[in-house]
Amino acid sequence: MKLLLLFILFSFSAVAKDMTVFSMNLHCGLDDWQKRMDVIIDEVIRLNPDVIGLQEVCYNAEMNMAKYIGDTLSRKGYPVKSQHTIDTHRSFVKYQEQLLIISRHAAQDLESGNLPGPGFLQNGYISFRLGNLRFLTTHLHFALSSIRRSQYEFIQKKYGKQAVIIFGDLNSNPEDSETNVLKKALWTPFFDGPTFPSDNPKKTFDGYWMTEKFHEEVMATTIDRIFLNRGTQPSDHLGINLSILLR
């Protein structure tokens, strides 16, 4: 029993000192989605992130992107220890859209729910903890800044005092007024530049925000846009990858 506890503590300490978080909007089941996912999965295998957050993960009677991604990651050698989804809304008429969060470590304390917004185009969030740090992926409202402001307010009220990092397709960046609620609460942003559309990015939609409590644990970070300057893009958004060195 003591050996097991020591192994668990050692494993998490190794994770907690140096971790990577990958995020990407997958463009649902459009085009040749399996071929696109294989390209993304191969890049994820190369990056070997601790946490993966994916948006516009879709399913219907004929296809299930979350299952395909999890199964293919495992088959190609990525150790899927935690995998969770939450339904958000119907997408492109024929698909049910989801958020997907995956980790190569056993996670605790799964949380998910809906953000404020119109019921016909519901935005959600899904998160878990690794140790005392919480990782949350989301996809904020695509059109109205007033709705995104209310969604940021919800996130700040629920998570602002915890050690939390949020990431995903935020449809906004630190220059936008709706993010003032996070800036006033001393969240720290990490954005590497435009991510949409992927073939000629002009809009900065995808990034990370850390609460003050999370950021206090950080010594250094490196953020990169994934698939930048690539000829054929596997999605309409670039991926983003944040490497974190913790104290």
Degrees, nearest 5: CA angle 133-46-8: 40
pLDDT at 7 over 70: no
Q: β-pairing, 218-226 with 108-114? A: unpaired
Residue with tokens 């948006």: 55
pLDDT for res 1: 44
DSSP assignment string, 7-21: HHHHHHHHHHHEEEE
Q: Is there a contact between 45 and 76 (Cβ–Cβ < 8 Å)?
A: yes
Average pLDDT, the chain: 92
Q: pLDDT tens digits, residue range 124-172?
A: 999 999 999 999 999 999 989 999 999 999 999 999 999 999 999 999 9
User: Cβ contacts of residue 46 below 8 Å, gap of 6+?
Assistant: none
Q: How would residue 192 be classed by pLDDT, with cut points 50, 70 and 90?
A: very high
User: Cα separations (Å) of 71 from 42, 74, 101, 107, 240?
Assistant: 13, 5, 14, 18, 22
The set of long-range contacts for 6-13, using a CB threshold of 8 Å and a minimum separation of 24, is 11/105, 12/105, 12/130, 12/131
User: Cα separations (Å) of 141 from 53, 60, 81, 199?
Assistant: 17, 22, 30, 22
pLDDT for res 89: 80
Q: What share of the chain is helix, strand, coil (3-state, %, to 5)?
A: 30, 35, 35
How many helices, marked H, and strands, marked E, lie in the chain? 6, 12
Q: What is the pTM of this model?
A: 0.92
Phi-psi region of 75 (alpha: psi -120 to 50; beta: other; left: phi over 0): alpha
E strands present in the chain: 18-25, 51-59, 82-91, 95-103, 108-114, 124-130, 133-139, 164-169, 188-190, 206-210, 218-226, 239-246
Q: How would residue 90 be classed by pLDDT, with cut points 50, 70 and 90?
A: confident
Q: pLDDT tens digits, residue range 38-50?
A: 999 999 999 999 9
pLDDT at 213 over 80: yes
pLDDT for res 135: 98
